[in-house]
């Protein structure tokens, strides 16, 4: 049976783009085709922008409590359809079922936070800011916003933005990654059932052409993007040229610093989940372990390598692995696998040592794109495998002599998304959280991703934006502060 050709969702209607090519959507676990996605063009984007612009005035003027009320039935529908969504996500992206379930949980948490928009969007008032004069700050929506989404979190990442944009009174266009369009397609089917006015929410399938059209369209007031820092620079530059607001969340090289006083049992268990969950394809995955002292390095490797060797590599939809705490599924594509293998070779050529080689594992499915957990030791700061976001189940281990050196390794790196320390010492922990140049810090936490009502975002070249996402921070991105200075004289009747 021929694979389904997906449709765009514009102005409350499912639309088949005309005159465009389609791309096969691959199951990376098997290599099979699960759908076909249209590569929409500039005309399709323009149609979505026109619909969103037309819907904006009435949506802006809808009371904020009413705007937020649409999310309650959406939460119910998402929960009722969680199994379908999870299996769709796993089939097109390749992460494990528990990882997909965790992604769904964080997605719904962001919707729940946005339901508080009647509080979050409140302004400020200064009565008596001068003699007989009051000052006020009101937060108003701007118009049409858009998202160019990544492949690795097809459910969660769009909901870093969508609920906040809509609840603040803006209209929205989502472009899912062409590699994983099916999850957002199913979510849009559910959004279609909650009764939003036509044009308030729109979805466009496509690749680079559609993304470029969104960046260049003057009717879009702001763009959110999640991807590599290389592309973030281009997105941020293009947004500046077209006077758009921009949130561009980029690459990462998240470090785990292990102090001599760390609880090694818990630290290594934590590392396995952090480093190898989602096959390392997440911006918060730890990919560099910094051991403070030779004895720490020896103990970490003595525990980490056997534990990593025991991690199951499998098709995540195989019922035989349903109860496994960590399952390494495939990386997203053949091209991604080849890139990761090339980086491992680069590390070896620079003098790194393979403590665990995951390159030659027997693939669970012949057509899948699998790499087993891989550990590189004898890595020095500045080596390519340390500088580069590998985005796969590959970790590098470095050794330093002090906390000061460990912090320097983190701070001298180009990226500053997340960083964690394993220690029992409040002194070490305090220094680390104050001195380390990373946007998200963990203390005995391997994945320091904040909960939905706290901001999410990095520093340095991990974020090309002044405003982070999630919670009240997102409100600041989607609203314009308007400052009102007002005075009234007595009326004479």
Q: At what angle do helices 264-276 and 294-309 cross, to 10 degrees?
A: 50
**Dist. CA 339–CA 369, nearest whole Å:** 12
**Dist. CA 355–CA 374, nearest whole Å:** 8
Q: At what angle do helices 97-114 and 71-80 cross, to 10 degrees?
A: 170
| Structural tokens at position 346 | 């680069």
User: What DSSP letter does each residue of 437-465 carry, written as one string?
Assistant: --SEEEES-SS-PPPTTS-B--EETTEE-
Q: Which of 279, 226, 311, 320 is nearest to 94 (CA)?
A: 279
Active site residue 283: yes
Kindly tell me the number of DSSP H helices and DSSP E strands found in the chain: 17, 24
Block residue for tokens 């390519």: 384
**Dist. CA 485–CA 254, nearest whole Å:** 46
Within 8 A by CB and 6+ apart from 291, the residues are 258, 297, 300, 397, 398, 399, 400
DSSP 278: G
**Dist. CA 121–CA 59, nearest whole Å:** 15
Q: What is the CA radius of gyration of the chain?
A: 24
| Structural tokens at position 129 | 């800011």
Chain-centroid distance of CA 483 in Å reads 33
Catalytic residue among 182, 239, 246, 283: 283
Question: So which residues are the catalytic ones?
Answer: 283
């Amino acid at each position: 049976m021929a694979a389904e050709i997906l449709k765009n969702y514009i102005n409350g209607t499912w639309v088949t783009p005309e005159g465009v090519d389609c791309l096969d959507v691959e199951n990376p676990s098997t290599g099979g085709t699960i759908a076909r996605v249209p590569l929409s063009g500039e005309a399709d984007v323009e149609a979505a922008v026109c619909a969103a612009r037309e819907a904006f005035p009435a949506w802006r003027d809808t009371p904020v409590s009413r705007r937020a009320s649409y999310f309650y039935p959406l939460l119910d529908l998402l929960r009722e359809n969680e199994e379908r969504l999870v299996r769709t996500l796993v089939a097109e992206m390749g992460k494990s079922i528990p990882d997909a379930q965790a992604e769904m949980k964080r997605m719904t948490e962001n919707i729940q936070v946005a339901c508080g928009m009647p509080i979050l969007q409140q302004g400020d008032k200064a009565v008596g800011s001068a003699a007989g004069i009051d000052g006020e700050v009101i937060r108003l929506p701007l118009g049409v916003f858009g998202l160019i989404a990544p492949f690795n979190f097809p459910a969660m990442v769009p909901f870093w933005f969508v609920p906040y944009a809509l609840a603040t009174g803006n209209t929205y266009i989502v472009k899912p990654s062409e590699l994983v369009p099916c999850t957002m397609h199913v979510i849009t089917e559910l959004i279609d059932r909650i009764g939003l006015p036509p044009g308030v929410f729109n979805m466009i399938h496509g690749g680079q052409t559609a993304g470029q059209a969104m960046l260049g369209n003057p009717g879009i007031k702001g763009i959110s993007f999640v991807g590599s820092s290389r592309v973030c620079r281009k997105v941020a530059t293009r947004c500046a040229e077209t006077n758009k607001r921009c949130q561009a969340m980029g690459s990462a090289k998240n470090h785990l610093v292990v102090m001599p006083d760390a609880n090694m049992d818990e630290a290594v268990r934590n590392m396995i989940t952090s480093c190898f969950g989602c096959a390392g394809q997440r911006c918060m995955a730890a990919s560099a372990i910094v051991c403070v002292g030779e004895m720490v390095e020896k103990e970490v490797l003595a525990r980490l390598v056997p534990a990593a060797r025991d991690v199951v590599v499998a098709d995540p939809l195989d019922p035989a692995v349903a109860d496994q705490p960590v399952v390494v599924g495939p990386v997203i594509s053949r091209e991604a696998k080849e890139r990761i293998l090339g980086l491992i070779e680069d590390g070896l050529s620079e003098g790194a040592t393979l403590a665990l080689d995951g390159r030659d594992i027997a693939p669970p499915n012949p057509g899948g794109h699998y790499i087993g957990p891989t550990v590189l030791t004898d890595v020095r700061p500045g080596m390519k495998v340390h500088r580069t976001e590998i985005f796969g189940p590959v970790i590098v281990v470095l050794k330093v002599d002090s906390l000061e050196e460990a912090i320097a390794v983190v701070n001298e790196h180009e990226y500053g998304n997340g960083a964690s320390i394993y220690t029992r010492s409040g002194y070490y922990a305090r220094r680390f959280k104050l001195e380390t140049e990373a946007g998200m810090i963990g203390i005995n936490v391997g994945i320091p991703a904040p909960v939905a009502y706290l901001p999410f975002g990095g520093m340095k070249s991990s974020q090309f934006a002044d405003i982070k996402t999630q919670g009240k921070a997102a409100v600041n991105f989607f609203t314009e502060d308007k400052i009102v200075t007002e005075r009234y004289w007595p009326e004479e009747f």
